[in-house]
Amino acid sequence: CNNNCTFCIIPNIRGRQKSRTIEDIITEVKTMISSWIKEIQIISQDLTRYGTDLYSEAKLVDLLEAIDQLEWDFTYRIYYLYPDILTFSHLERLTKLKKMLPYFDMPFQHISPKILKLMGRFYNEDHIYMVLDFIKNNFKNAFIHTNFIVWFPGETQEDFEKLKAFAKKYEFDSVSMFGYHDEPLATSSKLSNKVDDSIIIERVWELREILEEIYDEKYEQRRKNTQVGYIHEIGENKLAVRPELHAPEIDDLDYIKTSQVLSGNIWIWEKIQYTL
């Protein structure tokens, strides 16, 4: 990773970005789908900047367009899509992809301009709004996952209220939330205005309550439609199913009765249609 987020030491541990060639990745994807893998996960520490070290410019969309042209029956999703260098042109090209699941994993961490600057982020709130509005207006059934860090050093109640309003406005489908803690080797550990741990825990729960209300409402909306997903566990008359848009090991599973299956074979990893 070439970023220098003040709370993170990954670049110090793992070094600078090193991209694989488009041809190398395509070869691996072909191997995977020829082995009947139906869903491919594409991830790096900063996926948006894929290729900048090899090609002198970001080549993520070029890579996705090459993957999308492969003929086999499969889908793919992308993770760690940082918003800062995404343009309307990039986003418009994404709308033309046929096999990409509309799953957007975008680690915003915060929305307050002051806190984003203290975190060493390269984007501002207006750019975040532009990206999110485009996604919601142009991708049917878009699923948006993000990360929040609560009570970063220097965060005031006003900053926190701004973060809560952000969560309410965009009604994220999934949020990984963390209370700030010092990483001794990170720049942020040397910042002043640290927040007491008891307050951090209190604010995490306050934000979590808002998110749970959003999740509950979204679940009720899903009950009105037929679902598509993959069976992960089979119990006595019960199944644990990962909805197709939910990411493995990140997002929630659905727990249903076998009688709720509308079509498909009841086997591990089988794709089925079902009701909630």
Residue with tokens 């999740």: 215
Q: How far apart are CA 22 and CA 67, in angstroms?
A: 9
8 Å CB contact between 145 and 247: yes
Instruction: Please state the φ and ψ torsions of residue 214, each to the nearest 5 degrees.
Output: -65, -45
Q: How far apart are CA 157 and CA 207, in angstroms?
A: 13
pLDDT in tens, 96-151: 999 999 999 999 999 999 999 999 988 888 999 999 999 999 998 999 999 999 99
User: Which residues in the chain show pLDDT less than 50?
Assistant: none
Instruction: Give the residues across from 240 on adjacent strands.
Output: 233, 255
Q: How far apart are CA 151 and CA 262, in angstroms?
A: 45
Q: Which amino acid is at 92?
A: E
What is the number of other CB atoms lying within 10 angstroms of the CB of residue 12? 11
| pLDDT of the residue at 197 | 80
| pLDDT of the residue at 201 | 87
| pLDDT of the residue at 229 | 97
Nearest CA to 78 out of 68, 89, 87, 92 is that of 68
Helices in the chain by DSSP H: which ranges? 10-14, 22-34, 52-55, 60-68, 88-95, 113-119, 125-138, 157-170, 197-222
| pLDDT of the residue at 198 | 81
pTM of the model as a whole: 0.93
Structure letter (DSSP) for residue 143: E
